[in-house]
């Protein structure tokens, strides 16, 4: 189902919601999901920055594309070196790489990267991912969501998730820390999910392939159109010796997470009211719903109109009378219901087959079992699935031995049809592996099987009615056909049998 959303203000002025998934830097064309494997030099549209956040130390850092020693290339944060001018606390070199994409507010997202520590340092250091709202050379000092995966220092193996630029408490993971070494590839992920009220849940995760640490926070007033990228920081804590840390990053990926396709809905004034318009597709229907608030599920909104057919022009319109309050509108798109070629619930008199249905037996049948219509009151299910009747094998008792019987539908004309489906309810209590049911499509004129069997081994015991759906084989298209239900048993052991109800054959509408 596609949801086409729009907000109508008090004076009929539209606020466009969900029209775009991703915006990119001017003049830059990128594919979504955006994946950077660093097989070549870093693309020009990347923004690379870094610097000290404390003037009491001197240092340098460098990003470069290097051979990762594993048959590929990686982006390396190298020469992450600090030379303190004296005893100091928390002087830091920070570096970041910003991707050439942003995410519009309201769209779920995920950014991930693989990281490997090449050279360890004893000082406090971390790497991570960020969603930064404000451009600048210091990713953490700006307003951003950032996850920090500590690769050295007293927090080694932990992650921390926070929103910089606020006084919010930093959120560390509560799981056991990961072990940091130079042999493991760690995958870092920062994801965001919006709820119906616009609040954003941010989750940070780090895994070594075996264990995972996570941290989650909820922001009721999330950042708007954040940037995304990598970050790294190394701190000097009362040290007088230079230190270095080298990390390789690979397969940096950004993707919007789309849970449903959203199409534009426009609103224009029309007399004292207004008109909704949206692009439509043949074979689809549309419903208009409305609500004064976004606090409930769309399916609970007031239904204004339903089953609106797609316009031949490919663009539907719907007029709304004047409203004196702010309201939200949504247009839902859904497939037209299928055309039903056969529908049978076996609700005729006991023992009476519906018109056009036939039964019979194959050579070798022991004449101990028959397809019967009626109420399953002796064995098998407690009741029919729908109504009071179904059809089954020996409704008055268990099926017999040496059984080979069939049940066939009336003739179904599939001329001009490209696909068809069989849908029915079944209850099964059949000796497993030895007795079985099968379903196939036959040419109506001579009983020749068309294509593969829909199912070739219905056996075992269920506890309730089960719905089953099977697609007709391509060989049946364009033919006049019948569907055959065959039941067969061997010479040892028997159970209640196979019961069918609410059999339906459909083809797509249009």
pLDDT in tens, 28-78: 334 456 777 777 666 555 666 665 555 555 556 667 777 777 777 777 766
Which phi-psi region, left, alpha or beta, contains residue 346 (left: φ > 0; alpha: ψ -120 to 50)? left
Structure tokens at 284: 């689809």
Buried b / exposed e over 373-392, threshold 16 CB at 10 Å, is bbebeebbbebbbeeebbbb
Amino acid 3: pLDDT: 39
Q: Average the pLDDT over each of 210-214, 284-288, 290-294 and give the range with the smallest value.
A: 290-294
Amino acid 412: pLDDT: 97
Euclidean distance between CA atoms 509 and 310, whole angstroms? 13
Euclidean distance between CA atoms 65 and 53, whole angstroms? 25
Euclidean distance between CA atoms 427 and 409, whole angstroms? 19
The chain-wide mean pLDDT, for the chain, equals 78
Cα distances (angstroms) measured from residue 351 to each of 297, 324, 378, 482, 496 = 48, 62, 15, 21, 18
Evaluate the omega torsion of the peptide bond into residue 33 and state whether it is cis, within 30 degrees of 0. yes
Q: Is the pTM for the entire model greater than 0.85?
A: no
In terms of pLDDT, which residue wins out, 120 or 300? 300
Q: Residue 359 pLDDT > 60, yes or no?
A: yes
Euclidean distance between CA atoms 252 and 96, whole angstroms? 13
Q: Residue 140 pLDDT > 90, yes or no?
A: no
Phi and psi angles of residue 305, each rounded to the nearest 5 degrees, phi first = -155, 150
Q: Residue 91 pLDDT > 60, yes or no?
A: no
Structure tokens at 104: 């519009």
Q: Residue 83 pLDDT > 60, yes or no?
A: no
CATH 2.60.40.10 fits 2-11+262-335, yes or no: yes
Cα distances (angstroms) measured from residue 332 to each of 3, 264, 273, 280, 304 = 5, 12, 21, 11, 11
Highest averaged pLDDT of the listed ranges 155-159, 234-238, 326-330: 155-159
CB 430 within 8 A of CB 436: yes
Amino acid 261: pLDDT: 58
Amino acid 57: pLDDT: 52
Walk across the sheet containing 302-309 and list its strands: 14-15, 2-8, 327-335, 284-291, 302-309
Q: Residue 109 pLDDT > 60, yes or no?
A: yes
Amino acid 23: pLDDT: 31
Amino acid 108: pLDDT: 81
In terms of pLDDT, which residue wins out, 255 or 450? 450
How confident is residue 365, by pLDDT bands cut at 50, 70 and 90?
Answer: very high
Residue located via tokens 């690379």: 48
Query: For the residues of 111-134, what is the DSSP string, one character each?
Result: EEEEEEEEE--SS-EEEEEEEESS
Per-residue pLDDT, averaged over 332-348, amounts to 91
Amino acid 305: pLDDT: 92
Per-residue pLDDT, averaged over 230-239, amounts to 62
How confident is residue 152, by pLDDT bands cut at 50, 70 and 90?
Answer: confident
Q: Average the pLDDT over each of 20-34, 212-226, 408-422 and give the range with the smallest value.
A: 20-34
Structure tokens at 411: 């003739």
pLDDT tens digits, one per residue of 425-442 = 999 999 999 999 999 999
Please state the separation of Cα 49 from the chain's center in Å: 35
Amino acid 372: pLDDT: 94
Amino acid 22: pLDDT: 30
10 Å CB burial of residue 104 (0-12, 13-18, 19+) is middle
Amino acid 134: pLDDT: 60
Amino acid 166: pLDDT: 55
Please state the separation of Cα 225 from the chain's center in Å: 23
Structure tokens at 154: 């007293």
- Give the SS3 label for residue 102: strand
**Cα Rg of the chain, angstroms:** 33
State which CATH number among 2.10.109.10, 2.40.30.10, 2.60.120.200, 3.40.1080.10 fits the domain covering 340-507: 2.60.120.200
Instruction: Return the domain boundaries, the chain.
Output: 2-11+262-335, 22-257, 340-507
Amino acid 177: pLDDT: 83
Q: With pLDDT > 90 as the criterion, what percentage of the chain qualifies?
A: 34
CB 204 within 8 A of CB 215: yes
- Give the SS3 label for residue 92: strand
Per-residue pLDDT, averaged over 109-127, amounts to 77
pLDDT tens digits, one per residue of 191-233 = 888 887 778 888 889 999 998 888 888 888 787 767 777 777 7
Domains 22-257 and 340-507 share a fold: yes
Phi and psi angles of residue 348, each rounded to the nearest 5 degrees, phi first = -75, -170
Structure tokens at 303: 């239904």
CB 186 within 8 A of CB 207: yes
Q: Which 8-state DSSP code applies to residue 262?
A: B
Euclidean distance between CA atoms 124 and 146, whole angstroms? 17
Amino acid 78: pLDDT: 61
Within 10 angstroms of residue 152's Cβ, the number of other Cβ atoms is 20
* Bridge partner residues of 88 (DSSP): none
State which CATH number among 3.30.1050.10, 3.40.50.80, 2.60.120.560, 2.70.180.20 fits the domain covering 22-257: 2.60.120.560
């Amino acid at each position: 189902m596609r949801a086409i959303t729009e907000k109508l203000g008090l004076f009929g002025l539209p606020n466009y919601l969900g029209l775009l998934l991703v915006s990119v830097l001017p003049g830059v064309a990128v594919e979504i999901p955006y994946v950077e494997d660093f097989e070549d030099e870093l693309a020009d549209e990347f923004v690379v920055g870094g610097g000290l956040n404390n003037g009491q130390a001197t240092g340098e850092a460098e990003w470069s594309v290097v051979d990762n020693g594993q048959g590929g290339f990686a982006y390396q944060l190298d020469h992450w070196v600090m030379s303190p001018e004296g005893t100091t606390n928390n002087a830091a070199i920070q570096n970041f790489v910003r991707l050439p994409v942003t995410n519009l507010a309201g769209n779920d997202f995920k950014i991930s990267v693989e990281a490997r520590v090449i050279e360890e340092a004893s000082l406090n250091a971390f790497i991570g991912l960020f969603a930064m709202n404000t451009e600048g050379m210091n990713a953490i000092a700006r307003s951003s969501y950032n996850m920090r995966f500590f690769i050295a220092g007293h927090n080694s193996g932990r992650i921390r998730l926070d929103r910089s630029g606020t006084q919010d408490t930093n959120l560390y993971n509560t799981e056991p820390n990961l072990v940091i070494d130079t042999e493991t590839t760690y995958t870092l992920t920062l994801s965001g999910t919006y709820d119906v009220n616009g609040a954003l849940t941010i989750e940070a995760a780090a895994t070594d392939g075996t264990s995972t640490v996570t941290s989650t926070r909820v922001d009721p007033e999330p950042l708007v159109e954040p940037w995304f990228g990598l970050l790294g920081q190394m701190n000097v804590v009362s040290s007088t010796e230079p230190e270095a840390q080298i990390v390789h990053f690979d397969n940096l990926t950004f993707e919007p997470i789309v849970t449903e396709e959203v199409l534009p809905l426009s609103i224009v004034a029309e007399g004292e009211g207004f008109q909704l318009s949206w692009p439509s597709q043949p074979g689809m229907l549309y419903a208009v719903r409305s609500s004064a608030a976004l606090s409930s599920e769309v399916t609970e909104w007031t239904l204004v109109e339903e089953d609106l057919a797609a316009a031949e022009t490919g663009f539907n319109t719907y007029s709304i009378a004047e409203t004196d309050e702010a309201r939200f509108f949504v247009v839902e798109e859904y497939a037209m219901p299928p055309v039903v070629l056969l529908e049978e619930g076996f609700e005729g008199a006991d023992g009476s087959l519906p018109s056009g249905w036939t039964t019979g037996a194959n050579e070798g049948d022991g004449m101990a079992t028959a397809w019967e219509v009626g109420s399953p009151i002796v064995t098998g299910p407690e009741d029919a699935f729908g109504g009071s009747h179904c059809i089954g094998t020996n409704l008055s008792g268990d099926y017999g031995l040496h059984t080979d019987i069939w049940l066939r539908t009336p003739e179904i004309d599939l001329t001009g049809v490209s696909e068809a489906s069989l849908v029915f309810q079944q209850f099964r209590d059949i000796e497993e592996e030895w007795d079985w049911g099968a379903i196939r499509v036959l040419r109506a004129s001579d009983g020749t099987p068309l294509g593969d069997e829909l199912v070739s081994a219905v056996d075992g015991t269920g506890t309730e009615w089960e719905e089953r759906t099977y697609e007709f084989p391509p060989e049946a298209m364009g033919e006049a056909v019948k569907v055959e239900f065959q039941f067969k048993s061997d010479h040892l052991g028997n159970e209640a049998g196979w019961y069918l109800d609410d059999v339906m054959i459909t083809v797509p509408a249009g």
